[in-house]
Amino acid sequence: MDFLRPVFESGRIDFKGQSLASSLATMLLVCSGIAAFGVGYSMERLSLCFYTYVLGIAVTYMVVLLPWPFFRRNPMVWLARSSNGSKSTLVDSPNQSRKTLVEDVSDDSDDAH
């Protein structure tokens, strides 16, 4: 079932990007809902209301679904893999202050087994 892997692994974004994506999606959808009600009511047509909302969903997909660069501005700081397993150092990255310890989510490291 390895052919499915690209489907599940594509489009990764970093943690700050995830939080940004989540709040962006919420905001866009709620706003498009309100806009849809306003447009439908003022144009006196219910179908127009739902077309506006579908447009809003499409815009949300466009903005949030794809891994745009602004979701990837804060890449993870990984600890370097040490040769003897006793000592580890930080690799150089644009953001040295982050020291969050995170488990390896990629799950495809061959040396685990």
- Spell out the residues 6+ positions from residue 86 whose beta carbon is closer than 8 angstroms to its own: none
93 part of the interface to another protein, by CB under 8 A: no
Phi-psi region of 93 (alpha: psi -120 to 50; beta: other; left: phi over 0): beta
Stretch of 15-23, 79-87, 93-101 lying at the interface with another protein (CB under 8 A): 15-23
Structure token pair of residue 82:
């040490």
- Binding residues for another protein, per CB under 8 A? 1, 4, 7-13, 18, 21-22, 25-26, 29-30, 32-33, 36-37, 40-41, 43-46, 49, 53, 57, 60-61, 64-67, 105, 107
